[in-house]
């Protein structure tokens, strides 16, 4: 497996991956819109590739204060193989190289299995109330 930054030739494969992994995402998370909006800001999208196939993704953010992980996705047949762990660790290291000293993420409260995955990587549940405003 190889981990690398996203490039424009990956667009269709990344859209397909996100549609498979996040089939019930709300309209504001439509993959082509998210990719375009992200690339308007920076290019912190990392991909896991196996035999020239995109099998995972991790989109990161860094505002100079905190880093964030978004859209962490691994195809089901590549889960529990270390692919997701390598991808997240790679992305965290890339954020660290930018000066980031803390990485946050949010997961759906019903996604208990993924909470265990992140805890295995050292993430801890923090006492926070997550709020959002659609504009």
Pairing of strands 45-50, 53-62: antiparallel
- Which pLDDT tens digit goes with each residue over 15-59? 999 999 998 888 888 999 999 999 999 999 999 999 999 999 999
Rounded distance between C-alpha atoms, residue 129 and residue 107, angstroms: 12
Maximum C-alpha span of the chain = 41
Q: What backbone torsions phi and psi does residue 26 show, to the nearest 5 degrees?
A: -70, 160
What domains can you pick out in the chain, each with its CATH number? Answer: 2-120 (3.40.630.30)
Rounded CA gap, 109 and 63, in Å?
A: 25
Q: Answer yes or no: are the C-beta atoms of 14 and 6 closer than 8 Å.
A: yes
Q: What is the pLDDT of residue 134?
A: 83
pTM (two decimals) = 0.91
pLDDT band at 133 (very low <50, low <70, confident <90, very high): confident
């Amino acid at each position: 497996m190889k981990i690398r930054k996203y490039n424009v030739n990956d667009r269709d494969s990344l859209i397909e991956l996100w549609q498979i992994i996040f089939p019930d995402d709300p309209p504001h998370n439509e993959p082509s819109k998210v990719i375009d909006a992200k690339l308007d800001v920076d290019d912190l999208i990392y991909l896991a590739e196996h035999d020239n196939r995109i099998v995972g993704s991790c989109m990161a953010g860094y505002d100079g204060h905190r880093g964030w992980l978004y859209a962490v996705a691994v195809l089901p047949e590549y889960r529990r193989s270390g692919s997701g762990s390598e991808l997240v660790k790679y992305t965290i290291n890339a954020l660290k190289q930018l000066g980031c000293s803390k990485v946050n993420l949010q997961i759906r409260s019903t996604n208990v299995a993924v909470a265990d995955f992140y805890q295995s990587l050292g993430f801890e549940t923090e006492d926070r109330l997550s709020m959002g405003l659609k504009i």
